Structure 1
Amino acid sequence: MTPADLSRTVLRAVRRAVDEGALRAPVPARVRVERTRPGGSGDYACAVALQLAGPAAMPALEVAAVLRERVAAEPGVGRVEITGPGFLSFTLDAPAAGDRAVLDAVRDQGLAYGHGDALREEILQFHHAREVRAAVTAHAVRRLVVAQGARVRVSCAEASDPDWARLGVTVDAHGTPPVPLTGIRPVPAGATAGELLERLGPDAARWGLLRPAGHDRAALGPDLLVQGEANPLFRVRYAHARARALTRGAVLLGFTAGHAPDGEGPFPYDGAARPLLDLIADHPGVLLAGARHRAPDRVARQLEAVAHAFFDFHDSCPPLPAGDEKPSAAHRARLALAEAAGTVLAGGLSLLGIRAPEHL
């Protein structure tokens, strides 16, 4: 069970409690589930009972008790505890089974892993200035919110710069909108699209414009083109290319990705593999947060974290056998995790409008 699955499970429990008359409160649009902090209980925690206590006119501990019995009966949930003033803490069944569910979701959904319909009720219209960073940011935000089910229209105050198209930017309308709209107003980069394209190319230019938060200065220097670990864009794309190379190498050795068999315990999804798998499991939540907050920089930082964890995992738990070593179940499981990381990196880059080459 992924964090997104658990969030939906808790939301269904709230809806069921309201339908059955056990709670009299409006059903929230979503329920936030977070990883338990160090020293806490369980795998995940949720404050929905405290959120509903006021509208339900019930103590938070009673609301938590109502939800606890309904969530505890759900498949994949091992234990539900009530802590503090009414927090719900969840321990998931069989970590290995949950890990497999995450990898299965990535394999089945491919580049659309993390997309959803949380914003399906929203019809949005963004308006931005005739400035390259504003245009690229609006385009990336459009992709993020559309991936969560929203419908979007983007307008620009003046006629588009013809060079924006080479950066992948599209604008639906021009001119001052007749009514106030939700605006995207990042700090101007102080450069034109044509100049950035000539100096950096489309991928590095988009990364340089999108990676910083909107209120921060966009660093658009030659470091974006450096083929080395110090360049986050190169590191992200190299991690993706390396993951794809592992798949090709495995084919040459006669094996494919697969799950660790039952009875092997938590290995190989512990140790260096755990941070990478946790980041992959959290990816849908990061995409949704990026869409809600109109913040593509959150996606870029997530991709950097995935790439860093991928290389740590790759160095500690090689997915391919060395020398005369025969491919084992552990190699197949490691390859499954590496392939999932590559898919997450490619999907995230795609949402930012940046290519993910298979060879670097």
Structure 2
Amino acid sequence: MTPVELSRTVLRAVRCAVEQGELSVTVPERVVVSEPGGGGCGDYATNVALQLAGPAGRAPRQVAEILRAHLVRAEGVRDVVVTGPGFLNISLEEQSDLVVGLVRDIRERGGVYGCGDALAGQVVVLRVPYEARAEVVADAVVRIVATQGGRAEVQHGEPVNLRPVPAPEDPAPLGADAAQWALLHPAAHDRPRITADHLVQRESNPLFRVRYAHARVRALTRNAGRLGFGAEPGPLAVQAEVRELLTALADHPRILTAAATHRAPDRLARHLVTVADAVLPLLPSVLPRGEEKPSAAHRARLALAEAAGTVLAGGLSLLGIDAPEHL
């Protein structure tokens, strides 16, 4: 069960409690689940009971106990513990299944992983000024809106509805990819930096980290082939670094939807940095070392790394940036 799926499971528990007359509240559109904080336990935690307590006219712990009764019966949930003023701490069934399911989904869907129908049938009109950054942002929004089943049309004229803060100078000297990143990575209300920092080949440069992570994954696939093995989704111990990467990959569909509905390619750009930063610590353990023979764990780690590479390549493409095989 991915974090997104768990969020839906919690929502179903709220809906069941409302339908059975145990709670009198409006079912929220979404529920946030995250790693347990201090004093928490289990795999994930949510404060939904605290959010609903006021509207329900009940103490948070009472709401939590009502929701707990529904959650413990949900498929994939092993146990639920109420802690503090009313936090729900959820333990899932074997977490290694999450790796297999998510990686297989990404491998099967490839570049369309994360695409949905949130804007199906909608025509989004983007009215932009004659300005370089506005044109670049609009171009990216057209591609991102298409991932959600919509169609975006770019027009010039008043009233303008997409006006990011203009670049202070011409970004063209940075080159195509760095210029795109310089204009798309900042939020629309932030002034972009047109500096040589975007060309620096080191960790301080977010664009470099994203493209480097993708290139490293592709190199690992080539080297694994030379060693006689390939990627194969399989169970992995869900340690901190694996959990962080799984969370980032599972969150990709939500990020794409948000970027499309809010006309905000910067959200996708920042998410790609999150994915890159999550996959890089995993890469040193993908290939066998010394006399070590390739094992099922190596194949599973390679499959997980390739899933991250798929998300990075797809995201960069939507931003109009090349995803290099070598770097």
Give the shorter-chain TM-score range: 0.7 to 0.9
| Aligned residue number for residue 252 of structure 1 | 226
| Aligned residue number for residue 283 of structure 1 | 252
- Are positions 1:176 and 2:150 aligned together? no
Whether the aligned pair in 1 keeps the contact of 2:49 and 2:64 (CA below 8 Å) is: yes
Whether the aligned pair in 2 keeps the contact of 1:64 and 1:86 (CA below 8 Å) is: yes
- Are positions 1:208 and 2:190 aligned together? no
| Aligned residue number for residue 190 of structure 1 | 168
- Partner Cα distance (1:320, 1:59) in 2: 52
- Are positions 1:8 and 2:8 aligned together? yes
- Are positions 1:331 and 2:298 aligned together? yes
Of 306, 317, 330, 2:275 maps to: 306
Gaps of 5+ in 1: 155-170
Q: What secondary structure, in the 3-state scheme, does the structure 1 residue paired with 2:28 have?
A: coil
Tell me the amino acid that sits aligned with residue 300 of structure 2.
A
- Shift of residue 96, structure 1, vs aligned partner: 1.6
| TM-score of the aligned structures, taking structure 2 as reference length | 0.85
Of 218, 223, 248, 2:197 maps to: 223
Residues 40, 233 of structure 1: alpha-carbon distance in 2 compared, 3 angstrom cutoff:
same
- Partner Cα distance (2:67, 2:54) in 1: 15
- Partner Cα distance (1:31, 1:79) in 2: 18
- Shift of residue 57, structure 1, vs aligned partner: 4.4
Residue by residue over 1:277-320, the C-alpha shift from the partner in whole angstroms, topping out at 9 and shown as x without a partner, is 343334344444444554433332332233233332223x1x22
Whether the aligned pair in 2 keeps the contact of 1:49 and 1:64 (CA below 8 Å) is: yes
Residues 340, 118 of structure 1: alpha-carbon distance in 2 compared, 3 angstrom cutoff:
same
Question: C-alpha root-mean-square deviation of aligned residues, in Å?
Answer: 3.0
Whether the aligned pair in 1 keeps the contact of 2:233 and 2:304 (CA below 8 Å) is: no
| Aligned residue number for residue 73 of structure 1 | 73
- Shift of residue 176, structure 1, vs aligned partner: 1.9
Q: What secondary structure, in the 3-state scheme, does the structure 2 residue paired with 1:35 have?
A: coil
Q: What secondary structure, in the 3-state scheme, does the structure 2 residue paired with 1:258 have?
A: coil
- Partner Cα distance (1:120, 1:58) in 2: 39
Residue by residue over 1:185-243, the C-alpha shift from the partner in whole angstroms, topping out at 9 and shown as x without a partner, is 32110345xxx44x233322110101123333312233333444443323311211221
| Aligned residue number for residue 349 of structure 1 | 316
Residues 314, 297 of structure 1: alpha-carbon distance in 2 compared, 3 angstrom cutoff:
same
Residue by residue over 1:112-141, the C-alpha shift from the partner in whole angstroms, topping out at 9 and shown as x without a partner, is 333344566976544332212122223334
| Aligned residue number for residue 157 of structure 1 | none
- Are positions 1:238 and 2:205 aligned together? no
Residues 39, 280 of structure 1: alpha-carbon distance in 2 compared, 3 angstrom cutoff:
farther
- Shift of residue 64, structure 1, vs aligned partner: 2.7
Whether the aligned pair in 2 keeps the contact of 1:132 and 1:191 (CA below 8 Å) is: no
Q: What secondary structure, in the 3-state scheme, does the structure 2 residue paired with 1:89 have?
A: strand
Gaps of 5+ in 2: none
Residues 88, 343 of structure 1: alpha-carbon distance in 2 compared, 3 angstrom cutoff:
same
- Partner Cα distance (2:141, 2:70) in 1: 37
Q: What secondary structure, in the 3-state scheme, does the structure 1 residue paired with 2:40 have?
A: coil
- Shift of residue 152, structure 1, vs aligned partner: 5.2
| Aligned residue number for residue 307 of structure 2 | 340
- Shift of residue 93, structure 1, vs aligned partner: 1.5
Q: What secondary structure, in the 3-state scheme, does the structure 1 residue paired with 2:175 have?
A: helix
- Partner Cα distance (2:70, 2:125) in 1: 39
Residues 295, 176 of structure 1: alpha-carbon distance in 2 compared, 3 angstrom cutoff:
closer
- Partner Cα distance (1:3, 1:21) in 2: 27
- Shift of residue 327, structure 1, vs aligned partner: 1.3
Residue by residue over 1:227-283, the C-alpha shift from the partner in whole angstroms, topping out at 9 and shown as x without a partner, is 44443323311211221222222233322222446xxxx64x436544433433343
Whether the aligned pair in 1 keeps the contact of 2:7 and 2:33 (CA below 8 Å) is: yes
Matched residues, number? 327
Tell me the amino acid that sits aligned with residue 335 of structure 1.
L
| Aligned residue number for residue 164 of structure 1 | none
- Partner Cα distance (1:35, 1:291) in 2: 27
Q: What secondary structure, in the 3-state scheme, does the structure 1 residue paired with 2:209 have?
A: helix
Of 320, 323, 337, 2:287 maps to: 320
Q: What secondary structure, in the 3-state scheme, does the structure 2 residue paired with 1:45 have?
A: strand
- Bigger drift between 325-334 and 286-295 goes to 286-295
Residues 93, 118 of structure 1: alpha-carbon distance in 2 compared, 3 angstrom cutoff:
farther
- Partner Cα distance (1:203, 1:144) in 2: 17
User: Where do residues 107-186 of structure 1 align in structure 2 (5 Å cutoff)?
Assistant: 107-118=107-118, 124-148=124-148, 151=150, 153-154=152-153, 171=154, 173-177=155-159, 183-186=161-164
